[in-house]
């Protein structure tokens, strides 16, 4: 059974939705009137569809700060293995830690992969030793330092 995430009548994103997404991907502040003109519908239609897609979690219009420019110069992927029955607790703790940008449940040697953003290596070692290793249930940790981001894109819709 397919999950319906968009209107009861039209279960999927249609051409207008994709047109909206394509436009707003590049510039979240593009006037709805301009998108409307391009797509041949009224501004109100664009406005309503954007609202719907936002409500449904399909689309987010956000400001993103370049972490390096905000002083977060050190980034790392950290894989975490936990005792099986403590996984939920570990995740709950990670959820509350501001340095943790991403937590993903994975297959493989470690149950979790996380992404950590901190100001410098001092903060990274503090995080690893004072925070992560103190979380009950964490058994093993693998740190993958991010030396340089070579490609990064948020635009999925073409």
Q: Which is nearer to a second copy, 2 or 9 (CB)?
A: 2
> Which of these ranges, 34-42, 55-63, 106-114, 142-150, lies near DNA under the rule CB under 7 A?
34-42
Q: Which residues, numbered 41-80, are part of the site for a second copy (CB under 8 A)?
A: 56-67, 69-70, 72, 77
Q: Could you tell me the two tokens for 139?
A: 């058994």
Residues 6+ apart with CB under 8 A from 89: 135, 136, 137
Is residue 38 part of the contact set for DNA (CB under 7 A)?
A: no
Quick one: which of 15, 26, 55, 85 contacts a second copy (CB under 8 A)?
A: 26
Q: Which is nearer to DNA, 33 or 120 (CB)?
A: 33
Is residue 7 part of the contact set for DNA (CB under 7 A)?
A: yes
Q: Could you tell me the two tokens for 135?
A: 């979380």
Is residue 127 part of the contact set for DNA (CB under 7 A)?
A: no
CA distance 33 to 45: 10
> How far apart, in Å, do the first and last CA atoms of the chain sit?
27
Q: Which is nearer to DNA, 46 or 78 (CB)?
A: 46
Is residue 122 part of the contact set for a second copy (CB under 8 A)?
A: no
Is residue 91 part of the contact set for a second copy (CB under 8 A)?
A: yes
Our CA dihedral for 94, 96, 98, 104, rounded to 10 degrees, sits at 40
Distances (CA, A) of 87 to 93, 116, 144: 10, 18, 21
């Amino acid at each position: 059974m397919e999950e319906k995430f968009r209107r009861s009548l039209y279960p999927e994103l249609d051409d207008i939705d994709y047109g909206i997404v394509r436009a707003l991907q590049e510039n979240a502040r593009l006037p709805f009137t301009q998108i409307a003109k391009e797509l041949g519908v009224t501004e109100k239609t664009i406005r309503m569809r954007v609202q719907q897609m936002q409500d449904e979690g399909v689309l987010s219009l956000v400001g993103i700060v370049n972490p390096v420019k905000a002083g977060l110069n050190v980034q790392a992927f950290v894989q975490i293995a936990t005792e099986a029955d403590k996984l939920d607790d570990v995740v709950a703790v990670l959820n509350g830690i501001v340095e943790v940008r991403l937590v993903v449940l994975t297959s493989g040697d470690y149950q979790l992969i996380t992404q950590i953003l901190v100001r410098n290596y001092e903060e990274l070692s503090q995080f690893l030793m004072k925070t992560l290793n103190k979380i009950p249930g964490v058994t093993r940790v693998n740190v993958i330092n991010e030396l340089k981001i070579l490609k990064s894109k948020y635009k999925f819709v073409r």
